[in-house]
Homo-oligomer: A and B are copies of this chain.
Amino acid sequence: MTHDRPLPTGFRYAGIVSHLRSEPDRRDLAVIISDRPAAAAGVFTQNQVCAAPVRVSRARLPRADARAVVICSGNANACTGEQGMKDAERMAELVAKELGCAPDQVLVASTGVIGRPLPMPILEAGIPKAVQAAKPGADAFDDAAHAILTTDTRIKVSSAALAGYSVVGFAKGAAMIGPNMATMLGFLMTDAPVPADELRAILKPACEATFNCISVEGHTSTNDTVFLLANGDGPPLKGNELAAFRIAVETVTADLAKQIAADAEGANHLVTLKVEGCRTDAEARTIAKEVAESALVKTAVFGADPNWGRVVSAAGYAGVPFDEADLSLTMGNFLLYDKGRPLPFDAKAASAYLKDNRDVTFTLTFTLGQGSCTFYTCDLTTEYVTLNADYTT
């Protein structure tokens, strides 16, 4: 998948089968290793209930000398009390021991079921193996991208190549995807030389505009984590090259975010919501999020039902003041609602638009200002319900 893309130099990856998961051949333990100390920044869940690896990693960032990230899937190590904290710290320690670095140079992330203690004997055996297996190159990178998945059906990878360096990333999503942030893990690596404070200043707004503009069901996870590591292997950034770097980071996060929404659990459709003409970007995002999280809008898309009243009414309860005459709604190329008036439309053709396209777009145009937002969500399907009705038991 990434074989034709330049990877940043100086990073090694592994994704191994540690048997954390019951499926015999499933990769479930990943490491990312930087050969030299890398500047690192992170963005985390805003949930009051956050997982042990989030607490451990948050306390270690930003920093100038990160050496590795270790990630396990299948168990979130969330709501696991004091033992969970010890286990997350131990995961980092096991990597540090192999690399000969300090434990706090290692970052940790986990995803999976909440509330079960980590099976530490498996990780005690697996983590040294993963570190020893780590290699540069696209195959190892893809292995790591595989090892972090939960109910995702495919890996999410993206890259941007610039003069002398590149930015790459991989991520996982699938469900418990609500903004602030999506229930997701994302890992970005670059060989550009960018200090940690600068990384953080770039990563936070990039996440805000991308990972925080996707929603599957609005449930903010306990484990959301995005890391950005910059090892400085590349040439110094001069002039407006830092601006180009910023754009590259946002391009990669946006691409990963869209892949997450498109591969949401049980989803048949990727729904793009464009909200335009609001007083501010923040108001546009508030409206987009409310529409994106309406079960009635999402079931209508699943059923190819051009039930535009649900979209308009969801916009109406977002808490942003407007008059009906301020709002128009377009679905694909169908103008359905024009400044407060419903228009006659070809219901069969509109339904066919939803049925025949996997990617569908709703545009809500207000007459209030210049604020806008693009938000991604998916439809709500019977398969989503079935998948989530029996996850732990």
Residue ranges of A at the interface with B (Cβ–Cβ < 8 Å): 46-50, 76, 78-81, 113-116, 175-176, 178, 180, 217-222, 293-296, 299-300, 302-310, 312-317, 320-324, 327, 337, 340-342, 347, 351, 380-382, 384-386, 388-393
Contacts and interface: CB of A to CB of B under 8 A. Distances in A.
Nearest to A80: B342
B295 A391 contact: no
Contacts of A347: 393
Contact of A320 (B48, B79, B114, B300): B48
B393 A48 contact: no
A391 B321 CA distance: 28
Interface SS of chain A: loop
A219 B391 contact: no
Contacts of A389: 299-300, 302-303, 305
Given A313-B49, A320-B48, A385-B299, A392 B307 contact: yes
A386 B382 contact: yes
Integer count of this chain's copies in the complex: 2
A106 to B, nearest CB: 24
A221 B313 contact: yes
A391 B300 contact: yes
Given A337-B79, A337-B115, A380 B391 contact: no
Contact of A217 (B220, B222, B296, B305): B296
Contacts of A302: 385, 389
A317 B46 contact: yes
A381 B381 CA distance: 10
A78 B295 contact: no
